Protein backbone atom coordinates (compact mmCIF):
# COMPACT_ATOMS: atom_id res chain seq x y z
CA UNK A 1 0.00 0.00 0.00
CA UNK A 2 2.42 2.68 1.19
CA UNK A 3 5.39 1.03 -0.47
CA UNK A 4 3.65 1.35 -3.83
CA UNK A 5 3.47 5.11 -3.18
CA UNK A 6 7.17 5.34 -2.35
CA UNK A 7 6.89 5.14 1.45
CA UNK A 8 9.26 2.49 2.79
CA UNK A 9 9.85 3.97 6.23
CA UNK A 10 6.89 5.26 8.26
CA UNK A 11 7.49 6.88 11.65
CA UNK A 12 4.77 7.44 14.25
CA UNK A 13 5.52 10.30 16.63
CA UNK A 14 3.98 12.20 19.52
CA UNK A 15 4.33 13.24 23.12
CA UNK A 16 4.35 10.75 26.02
CA UNK A 17 1.04 8.90 26.29
CA UNK A 18 -0.47 9.89 22.95
CA UNK A 19 -0.53 6.30 21.63
CA UNK A 20 2.29 6.23 19.09
CA UNK A 21 3.60 2.77 20.02
CA UNK A 22 0.11 1.28 19.99
CA UNK A 23 -0.62 2.71 16.55
CA UNK A 24 2.76 1.62 15.19
CA UNK A 25 2.11 -1.94 16.39
CA UNK A 26 -1.35 -2.00 14.82
CA UNK A 27 0.00 -0.78 11.50
CA UNK A 28 2.85 -3.29 11.52
CA UNK A 29 0.38 -6.13 12.12
CA UNK A 30 -2.26 -5.07 9.61
CA UNK A 31 0.06 -3.93 6.87
CA UNK A 32 2.67 -6.69 7.37
CA UNK A 33 5.45 -4.25 8.18
CA UNK A 34 8.68 -4.60 10.11
CA UNK A 35 8.25 -2.90 13.50
CA UNK A 36 10.97 -0.82 15.18
CA UNK A 37 10.10 -0.13 18.82
CA UNK A 38 11.93 2.23 21.10
CA UNK A 39 13.43 0.28 23.99
CA UNK A 40 12.54 2.74 26.76
CA UNK A 41 12.32 -0.02 29.37
CA UNK A 42 16.00 -0.86 28.85
CA UNK A 43 17.14 2.63 29.82
CA UNK A 44 18.58 2.14 33.33
CA UNK A 45 18.32 5.87 34.09
CA UNK A 46 14.71 6.55 33.06
CA UNK A 47 12.98 5.75 36.35
CA UNK A 48 15.59 7.77 38.24
CA UNK A 49 15.04 10.63 35.80
CA UNK A 50 11.35 10.84 36.63
CA UNK A 51 12.29 10.96 40.32
CA UNK A 52 15.05 13.56 39.90
CA UNK A 53 15.21 15.17 36.44
CA UNK A 54 18.15 17.46 37.15
CA UNK A 55 20.39 14.66 38.40
CA UNK A 56 19.69 12.07 35.70
CA UNK A 57 18.66 14.01 32.57
CA UNK A 58 22.05 13.80 30.83
CA UNK A 59 22.56 10.06 31.39
CA UNK A 60 18.99 9.32 30.33
CA UNK A 61 19.27 11.37 27.16
CA UNK A 62 22.66 10.03 26.12
CA UNK A 63 21.47 6.44 26.55
CA UNK A 64 18.43 7.11 24.34
CA UNK A 65 20.56 8.81 21.68
CA UNK A 66 23.03 5.94 21.45
CA UNK A 67 20.31 3.25 21.51
CA UNK A 68 18.23 4.95 18.79
CA UNK A 69 21.30 5.35 16.61
CA UNK A 70 22.30 1.70 17.00
CA UNK A 71 18.76 0.40 16.53
CA UNK A 72 18.03 2.32 13.34
CA UNK A 73 21.36 1.42 11.79
CA UNK A 74 20.84 -2.27 12.58
CA UNK A 75 17.28 -2.29 11.24
CA UNK A 76 18.35 -0.58 8.05
CA UNK A 77 21.03 -3.21 7.46
CA UNK A 78 18.70 -6.12 8.26
CA UNK A 79 15.74 -5.00 6.16
CA UNK A 80 15.17 -4.54 2.47
CA UNK A 81 14.00 -0.94 2.63
CA UNK A 82 13.21 -0.92 -1.09
CA UNK A 83 10.67 -3.75 -0.97
CA UNK A 84 9.08 -3.75 2.47
CA UNK A 85 7.60 -1.28 4.92
CA UNK A 86 9.34 -0.29 8.14
CA UNK A 87 7.25 1.26 10.92
CA UNK A 88 8.84 2.87 13.97
CA UNK A 89 7.36 4.51 17.04
CA UNK A 90 9.93 7.32 17.01
CA UNK A 91 12.13 9.45 14.78
CA UNK A 92 15.84 9.81 15.42
CA UNK A 93 15.52 13.57 14.91
CA UNK A 94 13.17 14.07 17.87
CA UNK A 95 15.94 13.30 20.36
CA UNK A 96 17.10 16.94 20.63
CA UNK A 97 13.57 17.94 21.69
CA UNK A 98 14.03 16.15 25.00
CA UNK A 99 17.65 17.25 25.25
CA UNK A 100 16.68 20.91 24.92
CA UNK A 101 13.85 20.40 27.39
CA UNK A 102 15.81 18.67 30.12
CA UNK A 103 19.53 19.46 29.89
CA UNK A 104 21.48 22.40 31.24
CA UNK A 105 23.33 24.60 28.73
CA UNK A 106 26.67 22.90 29.37
CA UNK A 107 25.10 19.43 29.17
CA UNK A 108 23.33 20.32 25.94
CA UNK A 109 26.59 21.54 24.40
CA UNK A 110 28.22 18.19 25.17
CA UNK A 111 25.14 16.32 23.95
CA UNK A 112 25.24 18.21 20.63
CA UNK A 113 28.86 17.21 20.07
CA UNK A 114 27.99 13.54 20.49
CA UNK A 115 24.83 13.84 18.39
CA UNK A 116 26.67 15.54 15.51
CA UNK A 117 29.27 12.77 15.47
CA UNK A 118 26.53 10.14 15.21
CA UNK A 119 24.35 11.95 12.70
CA UNK A 120 25.59 9.97 9.71
CA UNK A 121 23.99 7.24 7.65
CA UNK A 122 20.80 7.33 9.72
CA UNK A 123 17.73 6.24 7.71
CA UNK A 124 15.02 8.87 7.87
CA UNK A 125 11.30 8.30 7.32
CA UNK A 126 9.51 8.89 4.05
CA UNK A 127 6.39 9.88 6.01
CA UNK A 128 5.87 10.94 9.63
CA UNK A 129 2.55 10.64 11.46
CA UNK A 130 2.57 13.08 14.37
CA UNK A 131 -0.19 12.31 16.88
CA UNK A 132 -1.42 15.25 18.94
CA UNK A 133 -3.61 15.43 22.06
CA UNK A 134 -4.36 18.00 24.72
CA UNK A 135 -2.68 17.82 28.12
CA UNK A 136 -5.81 16.52 29.91
CA UNK A 137 -6.14 13.76 27.31
CA UNK A 138 -2.47 12.82 27.67
CA UNK A 139 -2.68 12.74 31.46
CA UNK A 140 -5.73 10.46 31.29
CA UNK A 141 -3.99 8.09 28.90
CA UNK A 142 -0.81 8.05 30.99
CA UNK A 143 -2.86 7.29 34.09
CA UNK A 144 -4.76 4.56 32.23
CA UNK A 145 -1.66 2.62 31.25
CA UNK A 146 -0.45 2.64 34.85
CA UNK A 147 3.34 2.85 34.54
CA UNK A 148 4.66 3.56 38.02
CA UNK A 149 7.58 5.67 36.81
CA UNK A 150 5.21 8.05 34.98
CA UNK A 151 3.08 8.97 37.99
CA UNK A 152 5.11 12.11 38.63
CA UNK A 153 4.68 13.55 35.12
CA UNK A 154 3.08 16.97 35.36
CA UNK A 155 0.86 18.77 32.90
CA UNK A 156 3.28 21.70 32.65
CA UNK A 157 6.06 19.33 31.56
CA UNK A 158 3.82 17.80 28.88
CA UNK A 159 2.73 21.23 27.64
CA UNK A 160 6.31 22.36 27.26
CA UNK A 161 7.14 19.17 25.34
CA UNK A 162 4.09 19.64 23.12
CA UNK A 163 5.20 23.15 22.22
CA UNK A 164 8.61 21.84 21.20
CA UNK A 165 7.08 18.93 19.27
CA UNK A 166 4.76 21.29 17.40
CA UNK A 167 7.62 23.56 16.42
CA UNK A 168 9.72 20.59 15.32
CA UNK A 169 7.18 18.69 13.25
CA UNK A 170 5.45 21.68 11.67
CA UNK A 171 8.91 22.46 10.27
CA UNK A 172 10.25 18.95 9.74
CA UNK A 173 12.72 19.08 6.82
CA UNK A 174 13.14 15.41 5.90
CA UNK A 175 9.64 14.16 5.00
CA UNK A 176 5.96 15.11 4.81
CA UNK A 177 4.19 15.07 8.18
CA UNK A 178 0.59 14.02 8.74
CA UNK A 179 -0.49 15.70 11.98
CA UNK A 180 -3.50 13.98 13.55
CA UNK A 181 -5.36 15.44 16.51
CA UNK A 182 -6.57 12.49 18.61
CA UNK A 183 -8.58 14.27 21.31
CA UNK A 184 -11.95 13.18 19.90
CA UNK A 185 -11.10 9.62 18.89
CA UNK A 186 -10.06 6.36 20.52
CA UNK A 187 -8.29 4.32 17.85
CA UNK A 188 -7.28 1.70 20.43
CA UNK A 189 -10.81 0.60 21.35
CA UNK A 190 -12.93 1.88 18.47
CA UNK A 191 -12.48 0.24 15.06
CA UNK A 192 -14.21 3.03 13.15
CA UNK A 193 -11.90 5.59 14.74
CA UNK A 194 -8.91 3.45 13.85
CA UNK A 195 -10.06 3.25 10.23
CA UNK A 196 -10.22 7.06 10.07
CA UNK A 197 -6.57 7.17 11.08
CA UNK A 198 -5.44 4.34 8.80
CA UNK A 199 -7.29 5.80 5.81
CA UNK A 200 -5.64 9.18 6.36
CA UNK A 201 -2.20 7.55 6.49
CA UNK A 202 -2.92 5.42 3.41
CA UNK A 203 -3.57 8.57 1.40
CA UNK A 204 0.12 9.32 1.87
CA UNK A 205 0.14 13.14 1.88
CA UNK A 206 3.02 14.75 0.03
CA UNK A 207 3.16 17.81 2.24
CA UNK A 208 2.55 18.61 5.88
CA UNK A 209 -1.16 18.06 6.51
CA UNK A 210 -3.35 18.65 9.57
CA UNK A 211 -6.21 16.22 10.20
CA UNK A 212 -8.83 16.44 12.94
CA UNK A 213 -10.97 13.28 12.83
CA UNK A 214 -14.36 13.44 14.52
CA UNK A 215 -15.25 10.17 16.19
CA UNK A 216 -18.83 8.92 16.52
Residues that are catalytic: 89
- In eight-state DSSP terms, residue 200 is H
Phi, psi of 213 (to 5 degrees): -70, 140
Instruction: Please state, in angstroms and as integers, the Cα–Cα distance from residue 28 to each residue in 14, 25, 33, 35, 42, following that order.
Output: 17, 5, 4, 6, 22
SS3 track for 167-189: HHHHCCCCCCEEEEECCCCCCCC
Amino acid sequence: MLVEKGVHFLAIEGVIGVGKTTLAKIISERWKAMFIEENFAENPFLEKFYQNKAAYAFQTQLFFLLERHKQLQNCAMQSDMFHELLVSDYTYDKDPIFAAQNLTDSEFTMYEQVAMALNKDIPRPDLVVYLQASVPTLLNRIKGRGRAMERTIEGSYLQSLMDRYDQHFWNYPYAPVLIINTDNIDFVHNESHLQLVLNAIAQCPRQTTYFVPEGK
